[in-house]
Structure 1
């Protein structure tokens, strides 16, 4: 299997790619939206609200947690998830800089 060669890219390029991955599946988008609406949530609540199977929700929660956008606190036998505000703010700044780039001195290329 080939390597991703992420080391040849800048830290910012790698972060942009990781953050963009969070929005690469509609289930993750729905989970993030639900977490913003309710401030915090358990996996079972997300299953009820989103309508996907528990293992599917758990896999997407794991991915969002690995990306750093959410965090989870163990409460008994359950995990309560919420948005990691510090990482979310960092992501917004990085993505805004990336998305607000202007095409300066760009001539017709086609």
Structure 2
């Protein structure tokens, strides 16, 4: 969205956009928590000592599962960082909406 578009946005629209961002951030945080731990139990069981299974296929599969678990942890961390940025942007939008609303109210009484 360009600067001109942001200037034309009403305080109510900014507030609504902030609410949407906060909702998306909450959902992203919930998903990230589930995503990050999705393979933890499976990998822990597969890599147990003594092993619950053995052989080349078991080793390859356990290694693949561990790599995928690591990838899921990275994705979850990235999603949490995105959610934090969305929360920050929502706060900025709410501040802008409040300032614009105050200017409008002050201007209307003069």
TM-score, length-scaled by structure 2: 0.33
Between 1 and 2, higher relative CO (CA 8 Å, sep ≥ 6) is seen in 2
**Pair member with larger Rg:** 2
> TM-score w.r.t. structure 1 length?
0.33
More strand per residue: 1
